[in-house]
Amino acid sequence: MILTLSCPDQPGIVAKVSTFLFERGCNILDAQQFDDQETGVFFMRVVFDPSDADRDVLRGEFEALAKGFSMRWTLRDPAERYRVMILASKFDHCLADLVYRWRIGELPMDVTAIVANHAAETYTHVDLSGLPFHHLPVTKETKFEQEAALWKLIQETNTDIVVLARYMQVLSDGLATKLAGRCINIHHSFLPGFKGAKPYHQAHARGVKVIGASAHYVTGDLDEGPIIEQDVERISHRDTPEDLVRKGRDIERRVLARALRWRLEDRVLLNGRKTVVFTD
């Protein structure tokens, strides 16, 4: 099982958690912790073998310990896979990559739906067989109705995590608030960076020497959500804008895949406007 927690820092947290698990016959397999001395918040992730311990009893008994430390915590059996919805637009490289990684077992999740603002014919070269596909077109005039249909679908499918796989629509403040801590976006720049249309062309015009991508949680502030993962790649004066786009696609794929996998493995904990990521 995987236990994650955050709480105001004070002496004895690790000892209390370890003793709690020991007294119930649980064996700790991996433990990571971080004390943010700027905010005074303590973070911890523990993977343990519960042996014969009853899962529901463990949760109930840990509740009492958690209250004593004012903890925000989760306790999950990895066999209980997260339910993930993937949103896409015309650019489908991230969609194709996530579906492929899911099919080979690299991303342990249940895909509840593929949602796109383009018709299914747009993705004929992506293997979406067996996956529910929903075409939800959107215009400025229909944005409210489209988001209402999207939110209804999220609720009906019991979706836990929403992934914007280069979904080129800005979520409204209302929907972003409903999905707080549950919606991951891939941004086609190393944030903060070049915003607006054709970011790689802007970067090329400025003669940049690295390009990158950022995966972050979605908030009402556009591209300002807590960052989960980033990566960069060096370029040179020989690279054309088309070269930057090609290299950028590769960065976006791997950054989004890593961010999603870490979220599926309960490695990402919110820390105000930032995240604590217990990487593997």
Q: Are strands 41-49 and 27-36 parallel, antiparallel or unpaired?
A: antiparallel
The conformational region for residue 223 under phi > 0 = left, psi -120 to 50 = alpha, else beta, is left
The 8-class DSSP code of residue 81 comes to P
State whether residue 84 is helix, strand or coil.
Answer: strand
Copy the structure tokens of residue 16: 């209390």
d(C-alpha 101, C-alpha 108), whole Å: 9
HSE, CB side, 13 Å, CA atoms: give it for residue 82: 20
DSSP string across 7-63: EE--TTHHHHHHHHHHHTT-EEEEEEEEEETTTTEEEEEEEEE-TT--HHHHHHHHH
Taking alpha carbons only, the member of 171, 179, 189 closest to residue 255 is: 189
DSSP string across 200-237: HHHHHHTT-SEEEEEEEE--SSTT-SPEEEEEEEE--T
Task: Kindly name the residue from 223, 231, 243, 250 that is annotated as catalytic.
Answer: 223
Q: Are strands 2-8 and 27-36 parallel, antiparallel or unpaired?
A: unpaired
Q: Give yes or no for a contact between 93 and 188, defined as CB atoms under 8 angstroms apart.
A: no
Residue 223 annotated in active site: yes
Give the catalytic positions in this structure: 223
